[in-house]
Homo-oligomer: A and B are copies of this chain.
Amino acid sequence: MNIQEDAADGVSPASTSHTSDSALVRSARAARGPSIGDVARAAGVSAQTVSRVSNGLTNVEEKTKQRVLDAMKQLGYRPNRAARALKSGQFKSIGVIMFNLSTYGNRRTLDAIATAASQAGYSVNLIPLHDPTTGTVTGAYTRLKEQDVDGVVIIFEAHLFDRADITLPEDLPAVVIDSSPGYGYPMVDTDQAEGARFATEHLLDLGHQQVWHIGGPVSSFSARHREESWRRTLDEAGIEAPTVLHGDWSTESGYQVGMELGRDREVTAIFAANDQMALGAMRALHELGRLIPEDVSVVGFDDLEESTSFWPPLTTIRQDFLAVGRVSIEKLLQQIAGNTPASVVTTVPTRLMVRQSTAAPAR
C-alpha cells in the first residue's frame, strides 16, 4: 500500500492560521471540563445539590436550583458520562447489528433507532454485517459486549435471505426486528398481515371480482406473511385465490410477472408485495397498452419516497419504519430497565395510501 500525503490544496493563509487555532483549542480540550465540584463551589452549594439539579430531582428549592443552573451555564458544565456509567453500571449505549444497509426500510429504521436512542440519552453502536450466519452474529455480539453496550437491536434483512437457523446469544437484552416467528426474544415488525389485508380489501371494495398477487421471494418471511394474508382475505370474501407468481423484490422481476399477468384480460387488480415490483408491473402494463387504473388497478407495499411520483402515483401500503425503530428502542430500554417482558411480538400498524393507480373496474 502506498498511501500519499500532501499538504492540503486550497489552504489559504486564513485557513492556515485557523489550523493553528484549532490545534490550540484541541490541546486545551485535553484539560477536563468543569466538574460537579466546580459548579458546586461556584453556586455555593454542595455537589449533591448540583447532582440533584442535574438529574431533575424535585427536592431542591427553586431559588437554589436557579443558582445552580446559572453556574452550570456559566461554566459550560456537562456531566461526565464515564463517571455516571461507573456509578450506575450502565453505559447508556445500545448496539445495533444490521445486515444490508442498502434497503430503504432498513435505513429509515436505523435512523429512527438512532434518533430515539439519542433522545433517551443513549448512544448507538453500529456493527454492520454482510452475511447473516450464526458465526458473524456471535462475533458482533462479542464485540458489543466488549464495548459494554446495555442492549442490542438486531435488524434482519428479511428481504434478502432466510436466516431462520441463526441462534442468538442470551446474556444481553435484545430486540429483533424481523418477520420471522418466535425467537424467544422480543420482536418488532410491521403488521404485514394487516397491510396485505388493507391492500386486498381496498381492491375488493372498489368492485374487483378477483385480486392477483405478485409475491416476494419464498425465502422471505415478510413476503410469506403478505401472501398468506392476501389469500385469507380472498378466502373470507369467498374468492378462490389465483396462482401466485413470485418475484425477487426487484423492479425487473415485477416487470416480468407484470407481463404475464397483463396479457391475461381477466386481470383487473394486482397487489404487488412491494413498490418496486409494482413499478415493474406498471411498466409492463404500459407496454401492453393496458390503462392504469382504468383497465388494471395496482397496489404496492412499502410506500417508498418515490412512489408518489410513479406514473400513475401508486396506491400502496405505508410501512411506518420510524415507528418500528422507535418501538424497538422503547422495548429495549424497558428490558434494560429490568422489566424483562415476556417474549412478545410487537406489531406496528400500516396505512393504506390511496393514490391514482387504483379505481373501480370498468364495466
Q: Which residues of A contact B (CB under 8 A)?
A: 1-12, 15, 18-19, 21-23, 25-27, 29-30, 32, 78, 80-83, 85-86, 89, 91, 93, 96, 101-102, 107, 110-111, 114, 118, 123-128, 143, 145-148, 170-173, 181-184, 187, 191, 323, 327, 335, 338, 340, 342-349
Residues B6 and A171 in contact, CB atoms below 8 Å apart: no
Say whether, besides A82-B91, A114-B127, A170-B21, A346 and B3 are in contact (CB < 8 Å).
yes
Instruction: Chain B residues near A12: list those with CB within 8 A.
Output: 182
A131 to B165, CA, bound (A): 38
Instruction: Chain B residues near A91: list those with CB within 8 A.
Output: 81-82
Say whether, besides A146-B78, A346-B4, A29 and B171 are in contact (CB < 8 Å).
yes
The residue that A181 contacts in the complex, of B10, B125, B145, with Cβ under 8 A, is B10
Say whether, besides A3-B346, A81-B91, A346-B3, A187 and B8 are in contact (CB < 8 Å).
yes
Say whether, besides A91-B82, A125-B124, A171-B29, A346 and B107 are in contact (CB < 8 Å).
no
Residues B8 and A184 in contact, CB atoms below 8 Å apart: yes
Q: Could you tell me the dominant secondary structure of chain A's interface residues?
A: mixed
Say whether, besides A4-B347, A5-B344, A5-B346, A19 and B184 are in contact (CB < 8 Å).
yes
Instruction: Chain B residues near A344: list those with CB within 8 A.
Output: 5-8
Residues A2 and B171 in contact, CB atoms below 8 Å apart: no
CB distance from A80 to the nearest CB of B (A): 7
A27 to B102, CA, bound (A): 36
Residues B1 and A349 in contact, CB atoms below 8 Å apart: yes
CB distance from A131 to the nearest CB of B (A): 13
A96 to B85, CA, bound (A): 22
A80 to B23, CA, bound (A): 31
Nearest B residue to A187 via CB reads: B8
CB distance from A224 to the nearest CB of B (A): 13
Residues B147 and A343 in contact, CB atoms below 8 Å apart: no
Instruction: Chain B residues near A86: list those with CB within 8 A.
Output: 80, 82-83, 85-86
CB distance from A109 to the nearest CB of B (A): 11
Residues A348 and B3 in contact, CB atoms below 8 Å apart: yes
The residue that A147 contacts in the complex, of B3, B123, B145, B182, with Cβ under 8 A, is B123
